[in-house]
């Protein structure tokens, strides 16, 4: 089976790094940051989509905010994450049972690549898919389609694992089974409304679900 994994909120808890970079970008533009709980909702959607309402949908200010975000992420933010408990064991077991693994993330490749390279199980992923850094869209559907083509994989023998509706919606667009996880930044209602084929609360549950 081809197993596609989201990165933020699925493999790693990146809240600290992402939120710190968002606050940095807004401070550079002299814009007050939303409360911490609201900033958690920024993890998953494209940055430009989240910045727009705070910056009066001004494309020049939005691009400036994105650039300020990237500046801090490049130096510090990419290292500010934790691996979710049980994920490393899950990846090892999936490899042992013969699954092929790849990452499909809304993070630009230049940000996702060093994170994956430094994961203790980073070598398990045969490919990584991320949007163009100038894109205003997460493009999960098109990235999943690219993965299916690259691996010559049958959608019926593929899963997309993620914590937000974008992962599930992208999977469904391609006829792929979307599995929602509850240890990230989404919630059960969001994943159910998106059409998740299954929802798991712990990596061990996902391991059991994907066993041959």
Residues 95 and 198 in one domain: yes
Residue 53, SS3? Answer: helix
Quick one: 66 and 88 in the same domain? no
- Token pair belonging to 22: 């968002």
User: What was the pLDDT predicted at 147?
Assistant: 97
**Domain shared by 51 and 122, yes or no:** no
Tell me, what's the pLDDT at 58?
96
Tell me what pLDDT residue 106 has.
87
pLDDT one-digit tens code per residue, 79-118 = 789 999 999 999 999 999 999 999 999 888 888 899 999 9
Residues 109 and 198 in one domain: yes
> By the 8 A CB rule, do 18 and 8 touch?
yes
pLDDT at 146: 95
Contacts of 35 (CB under 8 A, 6+ apart): none
- Residues 41 and 144 placed together within one structural domain of the fold: no
Q: Are 186 and 44 in contact (CB under 8 A)?
A: yes
The total domain count for the chain is 2
pLDDT at 108: 82
State how far the alpha carbon of 101 is from the alpha carbons of 38, 81, 124, in Å. Answer: 32, 21, 7
Q: Are residues 97 and 149 in the same domain?
A: yes
Which CATH number characterizes residue 147's domain?
3.40.50.1000
* Structural domain harbouring 96: 2-13+82-210
Do 125 and 168 lie in a common domain?
A: yes
**What pLDDT is stored for residue 17 in this prediction?**
87
- Considering the domain architecture, whether residues 171 and 88 belong to the same structural domain is answered as yes
Query: Among residues 210, 211, 202, which one has the least CA distance to residue 4?
Result: 210
Q: Flag residues of the chain having pLDDT under 70.
A: 133-138
pLDDT at position 51 is 95
Pair 93, 195 in one domain: yes
**Residues catalogued as catalytic:** 6
pTM of the shown model: 0.83
């Amino acid at each position: 089976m081809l197993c596609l994994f989201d990165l933020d909120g699925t493999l790693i808890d990146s809240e600290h790094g992402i939120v710190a970079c968002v606050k940095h970008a807004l401070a550079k533009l002299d814009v007050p940051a939303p409360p911490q709980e609201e900033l958690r909702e920024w993890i998953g959607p494209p940055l430009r989509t989240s910045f727009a309402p705070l910056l009066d949908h001004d494309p020049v200010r939005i691009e400036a905010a994105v650039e300020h975000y990237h500046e801090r992420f490049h130096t510090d933010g990419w290292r500010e994450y934790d691996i979710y408990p049980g994920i490393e064991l899950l990846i090892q077991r999936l490899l042992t049972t013969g699954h092929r693994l790849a990452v499909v993330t809304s993070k630009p490749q230049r940000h996702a690549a060093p994170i994956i390279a430094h994961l203790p199980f980073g070598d398990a992923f045969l490919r990584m898919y991320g949007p163009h850094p100038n894109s205003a869209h997460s493009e999960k559907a098109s990235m999943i389609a690219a993965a299916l083509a690259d691996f010559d994989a049958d959608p019926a023998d593929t899963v997309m694992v993620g914590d937000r509706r974008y992962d599930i919606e992208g999977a469904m667009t391609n006829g792929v089974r979307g599995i929602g996880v509850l240890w990230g930044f989404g919630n059960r209602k969001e994943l159910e409304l998106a059409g998740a084929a299954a929802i798991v609360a712990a990596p061990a549950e996902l391991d059991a679900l994907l066993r041959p």
